[in-house]
Amino acid sequence: MKREEKEGFEMSEKEIDIEDLPGIGPKTADKLREAGFCDLMSIATGSATEIAAVAEIGEGTAAKAISAARNALKMGFETGLEALENRKKILKLTTGSSELDKLLGGGVESCAITECYGAFGSAKTQLAHQLSVNAQLPIDKGGLEGGVLYIDTEHTFRPERIIEMATAKKLDCDEVLKNINVGRAYNSDHQILLADKAKDIIKERNIKLIIVDSLTAHFRSDYIGRGSLADRQQKLNQHLHVLQKLADSYNCVVYVTNQVMSKPDMLFGDPTQAVGGHVLHHAATFRLYLRKSKADTRICKLVDSPNLPDGEIILRVSTEGIVDK
């Protein structure tokens, strides 16, 4: 049977490689790998337009390759028992606070986007720094034993803070900093580009944590006024889908911080509201709301989760990092 005739059959991932997909030869496979499409999962979750562009093939051929990759990975329906079995592959990253870990069901979850929003000084970036250190801990200590990809949009990444937190964990500070790959984004297009290029280094540097701090800052400044709102939300939606795809394809933890705004027409209750609209609120799997409390303490509330009850805890931001009160 010719390779082109295989797309209607289910094949296991072990049986085939990229070159075995219909319409994909050795040279085309090399182009795909150079563009970050290194395995069947990355192709199965790609779009025909994107793959056709990087591999210089027709969209019809790209669609057949995607279909064959999906068949090989059996990306159709599954039973609840199979879904439960797949959930065992999910990783949990400790936050440094046992109370916050408990609130999140064991830590920040992989294959999901965790959004943390709050006013300035509420410790969103502090938590991002703490996760960057914790991700490099052994798995039995709540870590991921992997590197970090940090997209910095507000120029808030501080290696000095990483050193303080790493020292508290008795880790080699130089090694910890070496495993954090920081990309400074200067506008929303640059931010999107950095996320698109993430797949180029995820496998090479064993990236297990992706941070975007903050997600919405550039989108707010680049798209001003109601007339540009639709364009902004569309771009933000595409960006979030890229991040979710990275989380799913590489079993990564994705942590994004978000800015807030006040609702002046709200007379009762907390007028603070996260920006990004429904696009972001639906895309984030877990949503945390951080706000200041007394001295160095912060109140963290779990606002949304697909499987956990809403809750609220108090944590402390110390020199050593994020700890329990």
- Tally Cβ neighbours within 10 Å of residue 86: 11
- pLDDT of amino acid 259: 93
CA-wise closest residue to 183 among 137, 151, 220: 151
115 pLDDT higher than 60: yes
- pLDDT of amino acid 35: 80
- pLDDT of amino acid 266: 65
DSSP secondary structure of 71-103: HHHT-S---HHHHHHHHTT--EE--S-HHHHHH
Q: 32-52 pLDDT, tens per residue?
A: 888 878 788 888 888 899 899
pTM for this entry: 0.83
Q: 186-210 pLDDT, tens per residue?
A: 999 999 999 999 988 998 999 999 9
Fold of 3-73: DNA polymerase; domain 1 (1.10.150)
Q: 116-163 pLDDT, tens per residue?
A: 999 999 999 999 999 999 999 999 999 999 999 999 999 999 999 999
The answer to whether the beta carbons of residues 122 and 298 sit under 8 Å apart is yes
Start and end residues for every CATH 3.40.50.300 domain found in the chain: 87-324
At 262, list the tokens. 């006040």
Start and end residues for every CATH 1.10.150.20 domain found in the chain: 3-73
Q: Is the peptide bond before 214 cis (omega within 30 degrees of 0)?
A: yes
1 pLDDT higher than 50: no
More confident residue, 282 or 14: 282
Given 1.20.120.1630, 1.10.150.450, 3.40.50.150, 3.40.50.300, which CATH number is that of 87-324? 3.40.50.300
